[in-house]
Amino acid sequence: MVSKDGFIQINIVVKDIETAARKWGELLGIPTPKIRLNHLEGGENYTYRGEPVSCDLLVADIPMNGFVIELHQPIGGPSSFQEFLDRHGNGVHHIGFEVGDRRDDVIEQLSEAGYDTGRTLGIYPGSSWTIVDSEDTLGVNLNIKPRR
């Protein structure tokens, strides 16, 4: 289905992104990662549990060797990130895989294997993503992307 060669990200949901970004910078010996606002607009570009919704996230990316640590702090609206934070507090929300033009086949295979692939879909200029609900069996959700 997915390949270890396609691994591109670890997403960590946090309650306080300013502290988390500063502490990651200190730990890695890098400047504090910049924080930006990411608005996900409902409709065909963003759905959560099959419904179009809008939400806001504070986001900080920490580039690593070949992958990124992505920090998210939900700040408004329903999302899988807010759901995760409410259930668990700070923690790893998903790991991401880039699968190229096999995306639809991978999503179908994961669905046939019993994973909930309809949880969250996001579309943005140049790419898209699908959060696969695999937390109960894999210990973490998956993010399937066609490309970066």
What total of structural domains would you count in the chain?
A: 1
* Residue numbers in the chain where pLDDT is lower than 50: none
Q: How confident is the model at residue 125, as a pLDDT?
A: 66
Range of the domain at 84: 4-145
How many Å apart are CA 107 and CA 128, to the nearest integer? Answer: 13
For position 43, what pLDDT does the model report? 79
What's the predicted TM-score (pTM) here?
0.91
Question: pLDDT of 7-30, one tens digit each?
Answer: 999 999 999 999 999 999 999 999
What DSSP letter does each residue of 8-56 carry, written as one string? EEEEEE-S-HHHHHHHHHHHHTSPPPP-EEEEE--GGGEEETTEE--EE
Question: Tell me, what CATH number does 59's domain have?
Answer: 3.10.180.10
What pLDDT is recorded for position 104?
Answer: 87
